[in-house]
Structure 1
Amino acid sequence: MSRHLLEIRDARPEDAAALLKLWSEAGSRGAEQPNARPLEDATAALAQVAADPDERVVVGLYEGEVVSAIHLRRAAMSPLHTDMAVHTSYLIVRPEHRKHGFARALLDSAVTWAEDKDVAHVTAITSSGSRDTNRFLARLGLGTVATVRVAGTGMLRRKLTPESLRPNTPRNLGLMLAQRRSIQRRAIEQALRGERAQEG
């Protein structure tokens, strides 16, 4: 596969089906991917990204087929920084198209966009389990500065709210077990007193 056949461009709403397929295939290999979405949602999301001057989805095509993608977002480096950064995520390249320059070309588009917007930093968010991607980014000079974790809002709410405060939830497990032990102890003590009374 020759590098001159690579085509890099911004994703369009009509790329939604191809991107969903790409993410689905990446997910079946345990790579980073968003939860599956209906085609209409993905199409609307791509249209929304296209209208936002601070966000892009860039795709890599080979013979007209989407074989790679990256998400770019321009935002502050952190809540306490005024410096802006281009944050990259969801860098995905089909396995059969790896080592042919797609990831490098997609990241080059991120750097070019950062330079055009006078942004001094580029960050990359990747799956911690994606060893190849992390090695590739390390070779390019991107260091590890954070770990990004994800949880569903409802699940996190359940974990954060103490059991005793949750509606329609049995009492706190620790308290319930302590009460059971206390009841068992009293029952044993009463049984022993009853045996002593019968003996005496």
Structure 2
Amino acid sequence: MLADLWSDAVRRADPSEQVADLELIVKGAAASPEQRVVVVEYDGQVAGAVYLRIATLSPINLEPCVQSIHPRVFDQYRRHGVGRALMDAAAAFAEEHGILHVVTAVPHASREANRFMARLGLAPVVMYRVAPTAVLRSRVSPARPQLGAESGARSRVLATRRSLRRARAERLALPDPEQA
């Protein structure tokens, strides 16, 4: 059930690999006092889940916090208190460990989830953006154009334009001989 609930959050892989990943995550959380997986049931069915862990606000802000990772509720259980129960578990986990802050992330396009978190008092702090490394590389250091006949012609045109601009600026800067 967790694989279905978190299908958009786990790595893209074969479903059996996704299930294996989640088994590792659940076992790791069970073995660590700083992690917890909370599953909420409604009428005997899994309705939602959240992964909780103690971390710092950021790598450069060492204030401890509880990260509420991917709090999710199945659509048919929305507006039944499941999301509130998940966030209540996050608050209780923080209190157990004497931690003053709870952070979470919800999809930017999910207006309903963002409004829900705002109603609970969670304010937006940062926009977390993700890009494939190859895309980022192509944008931060694009390939230079090949030096060839076309590039050489363009360079000559630009050099000529710069020369004409300089000459025009020099003419305008000279004093008018009739006024001297």
Instruction: Please report the TM-score for the alignment, with normalisation by the length of structure 2.
Output: 0.72
Aligned with residue 111 of structure 1, among 64, 79, 91: 91
Distance 1:185 1:62 in 2: 70
Partner of 1:182: 152
Q: What is the Cα deviation at residue 149 of structure 1?
A: 1.4
Root mean square deviation of aligned Cα: 2.6
Q: What is the Cα deviation at residue 147 of structure 1?
A: 0.8
AA paired with 2:107? S
State the Cα deviation string for residues 89-137 of structure 1 (Å, max 9, x = none): 2111111101100000010000001000000011111111111010011
Partner of 1:35: 11
TM alignment of 1:1-200, pairs within 5 A: 18-24=1-7, 27=8, 33-37=9-13, 38=17, 39-163=19-143, 172-173=144-145, 175-176=146-147, 179-182=149-152
State the Cα deviation string for residues 27-75 of structure 1 (Å, max 9, x = none): 4xxxxx2334412222122212222222222111123332211121211
8 A contact 1:20–1:36 mirrored in 2: no
Q: What is the Cα deviation at residue 150 of structure 1?
A: 2.0
Secondary structure of the equivalent of 2:83? helix
Gaps of 5+ in 1: 1-17, 28-32, 164-171, 187-200
Distance 2:27 2:42 in 1: 23
Q: Highest relative contact order (Cα 8 Å, sep 6+), 1 or 2?
A: 1
How many residues in Structure 1 have an aligned counterpart in Structure 2? 152
8 A contact 1:58–1:69 mirrored in 2: yes
Distance 1:43 1:82 in 2: 29
Q: What is the Cα deviation at residue 82 of structure 1?
A: 3.7
Distance 1:185 1:75 in 2: 54
The structure that has the greater radius of gyration is 2
Instruction: Please report the TM-score for the alignment, with normalisation by the length of structure 1.
Output: 0.66
**Quick one: structure 1 residues 34 and 40, their matched pair in 2 at CA, closer, same or farther if it must change by over 3 Å?**
closer
Distance 1:115 1:151 in 2: 35
AA paired with 2:4? K
